[in-house]
Amino acid sequence: MMSPRIFFLQLPAQLFLAFLPVIFNLNFSISSGQELVFHRAFESWNFKLILSSCIAVTIPLFIEIIRDFFFLHLNAVAYRALINNLIMVLTLLLPDVIIFTCVIPGRNIALFACIHQFRVLTVMSAAYGYLHIYGGPYFQQKKGAIWYVVGSLGHHLTLWQAFTSGPSLVMHYVANGFIFLAAVAFAPVAHYWFLDQYRIITSKSRAITTEEYYCNVYLISFILCIAGLGGVWILVGTPDFCHFSSPIIIGHNVIYGLFYVLISVFHQGIVRQNLIAEVRIFMIRLIFVEVIK
């Protein structure tokens, strides 16, 4: 079992590892012909339009983050909203801004590969961390961490395969094997959680809690996001980084945008309602204290 302390200690280190190839200025193993394919994809107006749309959609996050900082001392609702907004910044806004301002102008394929895997690892970490913290004992079991550890290893190998001059094809299959094992380990965890939620709803013994609702939203959004990324990857022929093309680059960015929409609509909507209710209670208490004085 991975404790929250260990999780938050390994998370920055893991995300930092995603940028080591660029930090050490490693050579990206790619042919001149495939390099031209990347350049055409970066210059595609469709890709730039998708990036611009995702950036524009997430601009309100800055306002919400500032708001959450002001109300953070009120209760855990504002804190949860702040954490969720920071997750959205890491998964959508920050990568898109870096791609738009650094990758496209400099045609930096290596940086794009690092950003791509950074985003995947962030989505996985966000889902695992949220479920582990708010999902209770069920997601805090050892089986709840196996898929995260194995999947993270697989995605790190996928990145480093692109910077390996040796038998990169072997590492490609090994990385895909780890990712497949992570999916196999994750499937029963999600299955039994949803089965338990179904029993609670159909038996009408009690209503699902707010925490369970949030976990359901994150779990469903994560499953749809990973399934979408994998679906696009399979449709274009399961390429490694050295054989990426415009359809997979654009497709993956669209999937991340949909992930943001799902979280915003079904998670943030309830958080805002709870936050507004708590603010009203706080203001009523404040007025009541002033009246007594």
* Model pLDDT for residues 192-202, shown as the tens digit of each residue: 999 999 998 88
pLDDT band at 89 (very low <50, low <70, confident <90, very high): confident
Q: Which of 48-52, 175-179, 266-270 has the lowest mean pLDDT?
A: 266-270
pLDDT confidence of residue 276: 47
pLDDT confidence of residue 197: 93
In the numeric block, which tokens belong to residue 165?
Answer: 């001059």
- pLDDT > 90? residue 162: no
Q: Which of 81-85, 193-197, 200-204, 267-271 has the lowest mean pLDDT?
A: 267-271
Mean pLDDT (whole number) for 150-167: 87
Mean pLDDT (whole number) for 70-79: 59
Mean pLDDT (whole number) for 241-252: 89
pLDDT confidence of residue 277: 46
In the numeric block, which tokens belong to residue 293?
Answer: 């004085």
Between CA 80 and CA 63 the distance in angstroms is: 16
In the numeric block, which tokens belong to residue 31?
Answer: 């042919």
Cβ(135)–Cβ(217) below 8 Å: no
Q: Is the dihedral of CA 128, 145, 154, 180 positive or negative?
A: negative
In the numeric block, which tokens belong to residue 261?
Answer: 């929409």
- pLDDT > 90? residue 188: yes
CA angle, residues 264, 218, 276, in degrees to nearest 5: 45
Nearest CA to 132 out of 146, 152, 114 is that of 146
Q: How far is the CA of 274 from the CAs of 68, 151, 175, 216, 279, in angstroms?
A: 13, 34, 42, 17, 9
Domain boundaries, the chain: 4-292
Architecture of domain 4-292 in this structure: Up-down Bundle (1.20)
Mean pLDDT (whole number) for 101-110: 92
Residue with more model confidence, 168 or 275: 168
pLDDT confidence of residue 268: 60
pLDDT confidence of residue 204: 80
Residue with more model confidence, 28 or 120: 120
Residue 16, number of CB atoms within 10 A of its CB:
11
Mean pLDDT (whole number) for 15-35: 87
Cβ(68)–Cβ(81) below 8 Å: yes
Cβ(134)–Cβ(214) below 8 Å: yes
Cβ(123)–Cβ(221) below 8 Å: no
pLDDT tens, position by position, 125-146: 888 988 988 888 899 888 889 9
Please give the DSSP secondary-structure letter assigned to residue 27.
P
- pLDDT > 90? residue 60: no
Identify the three-state secondary structure at position 67: helix
Residue with more model confidence, 81 or 226: 226
Count the helices and strands in the chain (H runs, E runs): 14, 0
pLDDT confidence of residue 84: 67
Mean pLDDT over the full length of the chain: 83
The angle that helices 109-134 and 246-263 make with each other, rounded to 10 degrees, is: 30
